[in-house]
Chain A
Amino acid sequence: MRFFKGFKEGMTCFGDLIAIIVNTVLLFIAYFIGVGITSIVAKIVGKNFLEMKTSAKVKTYWSDLNIKKRSLEECYRQF
C-alpha cells in the first residue's frame, strides 16, 4: 500500500515537472514570437503601449474617464 502511495506521489511530482517544462517552452515561444514580433513592429511604426514620458509642455496629466452610469448590459462584460 505504502509503495503504491509513494509511487503515486512520485508520478504526480514527475507530471508537475513535465508540465512546468512544457509550459515554460510554450510560453518562451509565445513571448518571443507573439509578443516579440508585435513589439518590434510597434516600435518601428512608433506605437507606444504605455504612456512612458513626462512633458513640461502639458499642464495636466489627468485624462478623461467619464464613467457616469454603467448599464446592466455593460456589467455583464469582462472588458
Chain B
Amino acid sequence: MYMLSVSCYYHDSSAALLKDGVIVAAAEEERFTRKKHDTSFPINAAKYCLESQNITINEIDYMGFYEKPLLKFERMLSQHLQMFPFSLKTFLSSMPSWINEKLRVLRAIRKKLKYKGDVLFIEHHLAHAASTFLVSPFEKAAILTVDGVGEWTTTTYGLGEGNKINLMKEIKFPHSLGLLYSTITAYLGFSVNNSEYKVMGLAPYGDMNRKTNSYYKKLRRVIDIKEDGSYRFDLSYFKFHYADRMPSKKMCVLLGGPIVKRDSEMTMKHKNIAASLQLVTEEILFKILHHLHKVTNCDNLVMAGGVALNSVANGKILRNTPFKKIWIQPNASDGGTSIGTTSYIYNSVLGHKRNYALKDAYLGPSFSTKEIKTFLVKNKIKYSEFKSESDMIKKVAKLIYDNHVVGWFMKGMEWGPRALGARSILANPCNPKAKELLNSKVKHREKFRPFAPVVCDDDALTYFDCDNPVPEPTDFMLMVYPVWKKWHKVIPSVTHVDGSGRLQTIRRHQNKAYYDLIKEFGKLSGTPILINTSFNIRGEPIVCTPFDAYKCMMGTGIDCIVMDKFMIWRKDNPQDIWDSEQYAKD
C-alpha cells in the first residue's frame, strides 16, 4: 500500500511517501525550486517521491493533507471579525491567496498531480504529533507539540500508545509560544519563520540570569504563565493577529526602542532581549513538561512543532524535567507534517500496526555513481576518482586536517533543516580561524552565529556534557550540550560563547563513510570531531543535486567536493560568474 502526503501554502512545503507503513521518501519543495522555505504546492517533491519508488500517481492508495483548510479559514475570518477595522490591510493581502489556492487544495492535488483517488485531511497539530510519535522508537510516549499556529491550535499535549494518539489539551490562537519567538525575532530585525534559530544563537551572548536580566522581567509582563505551563499573552503588545507587523508600539516601548533595522549590529541590549526570550521559552516549556509528566505518568517524551527545533531548550529537558527519554524527528517544523499525515492515516485511521522507526534522515534524492559520473562528463568538469572508500577517507581527512574546506555530497539528501553528513560542508574545528575562514569563503553568516560539531556517538560523552545515554535527537542536531571545559581551547571553532555546542552524533550504521572520516580525522588531529555546516550559502536552501553542489562550490570558496567516489577541485575548473555575495540574503 502506497500513501503520499503533502504540506504546503504556509511555509516549508513538503511531500512524503509511505510504503506498507515505512517512510520511503520525503523531501521539502525548497530543495528543488531553490527558493528557501518555499510555500508552493510541492509538485517537485511529490514527483521525486513517486520516482524514487518507480511508481505513478495511479498506484497511490490514499493522499493526505496536513491540515483542515476550512478550520484555518474560520480562524482567519474570526481574526478579521474580532479586529475590524484594523485588519483591513491583511484582509486585502491575504484573501486572494485563500480564494485562489488555500481553499482549493483538493482541486490543486487533483490538477497538479492528476490524482483521482481519495484525499484525506487531518488537523495540523495531529499531523505534528503523528510526525514524531508514530516514527519514534517508543511504544508509549507523552506528546508535546508547540508551533506558531495550525488551524486554531498553537500548543497541544497528549499521549501516544501503539498506533493510537490521544491529544488531550490545547492552547488556542492568538496565544502562541512560536509566535512570541517570531515576534521578538521580528523585533530584532530578523525574518520571521526563518531566523528564529539565529535569535537562539544570539541568546548566550546576553545575560542568561533571570534575576539580573531586566528584559526577562519586562517580557514576563507580556505573558501570564500558570503553574501547569499554560499561558496567555497581553495582546496589546502584539499585532500579528491583525497586521503584517508582529510587535506593537507598546512592545517597542517596553523593549526600549523601535524595531531593529535588518542587518544592524547586535548590541548588548539586543543580546539581552534574545536571552530573555530564551529564558521565557524554557520556563514555559519546562512547566508544561512537568505538568505533562504528571498527567501521563510516562517517562518517554516526543516533541514536534517549530519550537521543538529549539535545540538549546531541548538539551536541558532531561535535566530539568522528570522525563527520562526524548525523541524529536529531524524535521520537527511544518515541513515534517507530511510524514505525520501519512503515518497517521496508515497507522491510526486505517489501524495498521506500527512497523517502522525513523533511524536516519537520508530520505531525500540520492544519486548513483553512474549518474554523478554522467553529470561530470557531460559538463566537462575536471575530476579525479578515489581508488577505494578507505583511500577516500584517508585523503579527505588529510585535506580537512590541512584546513581545506570540503563539500561532502553522499547518500540521500537530509530530511529537515539540518545538514547531517549527506549535503554538508566539513572543516577543521581545531583551527581557531575556521569560523572566519568559513564565513569569508562560503557562508557569509552573522559573526555571532556558531558552527556545529559532528562527533561519532561513541565519542560524544568524551567531549560533551551530554545526557547519558546520548539521546537519539542528537543524531539530528537537535540538542545543545556544554563542551567539557578542557576541550574549549582544542575545538574553539565549534564552542559557542557560553561553552556549548550544537552537536550532531553519527552512528556507523547511519552513514559509514562519514563516521569513518571523523574517526580518521581524529587519528590525525587527536580530536575526532569535524565542523559540519550545511552545504549552501546564506539565503539559499541546502543543495540537492550534483549541479547545485557544483554551482555552490564554484560560486564560493569551498576548496573541493567529494561526491560519491569522485573528487572535484574548484581550482581545476573554470570559475563561474556566480558570486555568492549576491545570493547572501537573510
Contact = CB atoms under 8 A, between A and B. Distances in A.
Interface of A: 23-24, 27-28, 30-32, 35-36, 38-40, 42, 48-56, 58-72, 75-79
Contact of B122 (A62, A64, A70): A70
Interface of B: 68-71, 74, 77-82, 84-85, 88, 91-92, 95-96, 105-106, 118-123, 126, 153, 156, 158, 164-175, 224, 226-228, 230-235, 241, 344-345, 348-350
A78 B92 contact: no
B348 A69 contact: yes
B80 to A, nearest CB: 5
Contacts of B344: 70
Contact of B235 (A52, A70, A72, A76): A52
Contacts of A68: 164, 166
A31 B80 contact: yes
Contacts of B175: 51, 61
A49 B81 contact: yes
Contacts of A69: 164, 348-349
Contacts of A66: 166-168
B241 to A, nearest CB: 7
A67 B123 contact: yes
A63 B70 CA distance: 21
A17 to B, nearest CB: 14
A23 B349 contact: no
Given A35-B91, A78-B68, 15 more contacts: A24-B92, A31-B80, A31-B88, A31-B92, A38-B81, A50-B174, A51-B175, A52-B235, A54-B224, A54-B233, A62-B169, A63-B172, A72-B349, A78-B70, A79-B68
B contact face: mostly helix, strand, loop, or mixed? mixed
A72 B544 CA distance: 36
Contact of B349 (A27, A31, A63, A71): A71
A40 B91 CA distance: 17
B82 A52 contact: yes
A41 to B, nearest CB: 10
Contacts of B92: 24, 27-28, 31
A76 B169 contact: no
B126 A67 contact: yes
Contact of B126 (A24, A40, A42, A70): A70
A67 B299 CA distance: 22
A51 B172 contact: yes
> Which of A27, A30, A42, A50 has its CB near the most chain B CB atoms (within 10 A)?
A50
Contact of A75 (B77, B84, B349): B349
B230 A78 contact: no
28 contacts: A27-B95, A28-B92, A35-B80, A36-B85, A39-B81, A39-B82, A39-B84, A40-B84, A49-B78, A50-B173, A54-B234, A56-B224, A60-B228, A61-B230, A61-B231, A62-B228, A63-B171, A63-B172, A67-B165, A70-B344, A72-B350, A75-B120, A76-B118, A76-B121, A77-B68, A77-B121, A78-B71, A78-B121
Nearest to B155: A62
A33 to B, nearest CB: 11
Nearest to B164: A69
A69 B234 CA distance: 34
> Which of B77, B241, B349 has its CB near the most chain A CB atoms (within 10 A)?
B349
> Which of A24, A32, A75, A76 has its CB near the most chain B CB atoms (within 10 A)?
A75
Contacts of A31: 80, 84, 88, 91-92
> Which of A31, A32, A54, A62 has its CB near the most chain B CB atoms (within 10 A)?
A62
Contacts of B171: 61-63
Which 4 residue pairs across A and B have the least CB separation, nearest first?
A61-B230, A39-B84, A49-B78, A75-B120
Given A49-B82, A50-B79, A61-B171, A70 B71 contact: no
Nearest to A61: B230
Contacts of A50: 78-79, 82, 173-174, 241
A61 B234 CA distance: 13
Contacts of B241: 50
Contacts of B84: 31, 35-36, 39-40
Contacts of B70: 78-79
Contacts of A35: 77, 80-81, 84, 91
B353 to A, nearest CB: 15
